[in-house]
Structures are given as structure tokens and as C-alpha cells.
Amino acid sequence: MLAATMPALASAAADVRTTLEPELPLDPVATLGLLRRGGADPCTTLEPGPVLWWATRTPQGPATLRTWREGRTVHAEAWGDGASWLLGRLPELLGAGRPVLDAQGHPALQAAANRLPGLRLPRTGAMVEALLPAVVEQRVAGLEARRSWAGLCRLLGDPAPGPAGLLLPPDPARVAALADWDLHRLNLERQRGDTLRRVARRAAAIDRLAADPALSGAEVRARLIAELPGVGTWTVAEASIRALGDEDAVPVGDYNLYKHVGWALTGRPARDDAHMLDLLRPWAGRRGLVVQLLVAAVRMPRRAPRIAIRDFRRT
């Protein structure tokens, strides 16, 4: 049975392997799938099984993680200098031990939770690594953002360890040194480019802030907004969901999210962000997890035109 889920890429021996036997269902692919920035993301890949590969920079050095599930058993193996560090915190990374969501009798949310019982919010601990792609995604169409992020990784990313052929996320020092021309050819206009470089220049301070055990997720988000011009509520929520596993972070300001959540909970799109937050009130403290479950499990009919894809490289 195990061999049937092992793709050819796994033929290279991993540096470290481990398994988890969680008491509650835990889906590493769905959880870490929140780290993917589209199908062409050079830092991740998804294979049949399903099996997820993810490349990251850890405090101990670069690492590539490969993870999948068989029944309730979670399998993981890793390559690189940071492999042992990464697998040592696998339960925290995957949200093991967090309580099951109480749907409070809501049929749509209960159905979503039943469909994806192992979905958690990842806790990578890498705030800057989560902020950089979130800045790239600010106020633009998804396809446009994914192309820019992939281009940034190809321009600045180092080869990741292991056999998957992935790239590591860009080193913040290299992002901070990007020239205006580099930003232009990545289809990043001045505002996002300046914010990207600002975040990269303050990388060490940002990661220290996010790691402060005395601060709640809400306090970290508020500090980031106050201290980083160009970084707003949507951006810090997107990053906190992934870096902190912040279960109450809601990406307010998204073009479609409030409509999607409203549709999932009531059968009609919410009017605006305030209406969405009102609908989410019963799940205060875990609203971010509710949103991710609904987005993953409930498909909303498309009723509006897509955001136009812009191309600054021709201007």
C-alpha cells in the first residue's frame, strides 16, 4: 500500500523521516496546501497520492519537506541542513492537537468540516516568508500575482535540497536589493515593489516580533500594520494564517472573499466585509479557520467578471 503512494521523486533517500499518529484526523496536504501560490509555484509541488513537497528556509538552513497521509498516519521526510529542525516541529507545523471546530449546528459549515476533517492552519513560524508573497498578491488578480511570485522565485531563489527540483523562497537580503528595473520586469508596480523591499529590509525584526510568545496573533497583526507602511489588514491576515496558524485572522479587503463566505453560510453573497464579519461572529476566535474551510469546501457560482490582469512591463 505504501509503495503505491510513493512517486518516482522519492527514490533519493531522505535525510530524515518521521511519522505522526494523531488522535484527531490530520491532513498534511490540505493544511500545507495553503502555502502553495498556484500550480506553478516553484517552492511547492503536488503529486498523486496526494503527496505535497514544500521548500523553505529554516533557522538551521534550507529544507525540503515531503508529506502524505495513509489513514490517520502522517508520513514526512525531509532533505537539507534544516531537515531535522523541520521534522522536529512537524506537529506544530500541521496543527496537531488543536481542537475540532464546533460548527454550532450550521449545516454548511458542518458539511465542510466533515468533508475536510484534517484541515488545519499551518504554523511555519516564518512570517517574512509568508509576508513576501502576500505583498505580491495585494490588490491584483490571482493569476497576475502568481506569475509575479513565480518570477521572483526564479530570479532570486536558490535550488532547494532534495530530488523535487524546487526553489527556496527568495532570501530577504536579495529582495531588499532589487532594482526598480527588476521589479518592473516582474510586473510589480512601484507601490508593491517598495513595500516588498521594506518588508525584506526589516526581516529580522519582523520574525522576532512574530516569535514573541507574549503577543497574541491579533497583537502581532496590529504591530505589523502600524510598523510597515504599505502592509494592511488583508496582507497581515494572509501571512498570519500561514506563519502563525492564526485561527482568527480574516483577510478583510479581499475582492471576492466576503461574497464567498456569505454564499457558503446563507446561500447569498455577503454585502461587504462588515456583513461577512457579522456572519462569522459565532466563531469568534476561530473565524480564520472557518473561512478557510468554507473556501476549500464550498464552490460559489461566479456572478461577476474577473479582475483584469495588468501588465506594467509594457509601460
Residue 314 has a pLDDT of 54
Do 258 and 265 form a contact (C-beta atoms < 8 A)?
Answer: no
SS3 call for 66: strand
pLDDT digits (tens, 9 = 90+) for 75-133: 999 999 999 999 999 999 999 989 989 999 999 999 999 999 999 999 999 999 999 99
Residue 10 has a pLDDT of 54
CATH number at residue 163: 1.10.340.30
Q: Looking at the predicted structure, is the pLDDT value of residue 2 above 50?
A: no
Rounded average pLDDT over 167-196: 96
Average confidence score pLDDT of the chain: 92
SS3 call for 292: helix
Q: Do 97 and 131 fall within a single domain?
A: no
- What does the alpha-carbon distance between residue 276 and residue 136 come to, in Å, rounded to a whole number? 25
Residue 97 has a pLDDT of 87
Higher pLDDT, 114 or 141: 114
Encode burial over 67-105: b for 16+ CB neighbours within 10 A, e otherwise: bbbeeeebbbbbbbebbebbbbebbebbbbebeebebee
Rounded average pLDDT over 153-176: 96
Q: Looking at the predicted structure, is the pLDDT value of residue 286 above 90?
A: yes
CATH number at residue 20: 3.30.310.20
Rounded to 10 deg, the angle between the 217-227 and 233-243 helix axes is 140
Residue 5 has a pLDDT of 38
Q: Do 90 and 56 fall within a single domain?
A: yes
Residue 13 has a pLDDT of 86
Domain end residue (candidates: 243, 271, 305)? 243
Do 241 and 121 form a contact (C-beta atoms < 8 A)?
Answer: yes
Q: Do 200 and 133 fall within a single domain?
A: yes
Provide the pLDDT confidence category of residue 1 given band limits of 50, 70 and 90: very low
Domain encompassing residue 36: 13-103
- What does the alpha-carbon distance between residue 80 and residue 56 come to, in Å, rounded to a whole number? 10
Rounded average pLDDT over 250-271: 95
Domain end residue (candidates: 226, 243, 260)? 243
pLDDT digits (tens, 9 = 90+) for 31-82: 999 999 999 999 999 999 999 999 999 999 999 999 999 999 999 999 999 9
Do 90 and 75 form a contact (C-beta atoms < 8 A)?
Answer: no
Residue 7 has a pLDDT of 44
Task: Give me the half-sphere count of Cα atoms (radius 13 Å) on the Cβ side of residue 16.
Answer: 18
Rounded average pLDDT over 196-200: 97
Q: Do 158 and 215 fall within a single domain?
A: yes
Q: Could you tell me if residue 188 is inside a domain? A: yes
Q: Could you tell me if residue 310 is inside a domain? A: no
Q: Please state the domain count of the chain.
A: 2
Q: Could you tell me if residue 119 is inside a domain? A: no
Q: Do you know the residue count of the chain?
A: 315
Q: How far apart are the first and last CA of the chain?
A: 55
Q: Could you tell me if residue 308 is inside a domain? A: no
